[in-house]
Amino acid sequence: MWSWGVDMRLEDKLLDGITMVPDAGCWLWERAVSTAGYGQVRDGKKLLYTHRLAYELFNGEIPEGMFVLHRCDVRCCCNPDHLFVGTNADNMRDKIEKGRQTRGSKCGTAKLTEADVVEMRRRYASGERVEDIKKDYPVNIRNTYAAISGEWWAHVGSSLCGHGL
């Protein structure tokens, strides 16, 4: 049975809370996790993310303003070999390249659905004016153009780029 005493070093806390997955090589944190799925551990009153702690313990200091990213894409993984440092832009690019970017109607602020966008594009392709299409949807004219042209909602079917927009 594990118990985290006041004297227990952070490295020991980290190693005590992980299970190694031989096939994937991941070190899975099996204690407290954030709502986003990242491991968390306390250092006194300070709450630390376990992947950042693992990186610092085994690879060195994380430069200020930098992120610790996962090669394996497993948020609770603490294997320092699976972690690398990057900028916010690197983190966003990594998320998009790995298909983890929330898009379309899954985005919490979306006012359209994929079906709306398909219908908007169909109406435009049949000759209806963007200004008239916009009247039936809860978005402004700029967003209507962006949805129809494929500038936004590019993941939905075929866009109408190059068709007069």
Interval 41-81: pLDDT, tens:
999 899 999 999 999 999 999 999 999 999 998 999 999 99
Domain(s) labelled CATH 3.90.75.20 in the chain stretch across 10-97
22-39 per-position pLDDT tens digit: 888 999 999 999 998 999
CA distance 11 to 32: 16
Q: Over 80: is that where the pLDDT of 159 sits? A: no
Domain 10-97 has CATH 3.90.75.20: yes
State the pTM of this model.
Answer: 0.62
Q: CA-based Rg of the chain, rounded to a whole angstrom? A: 23
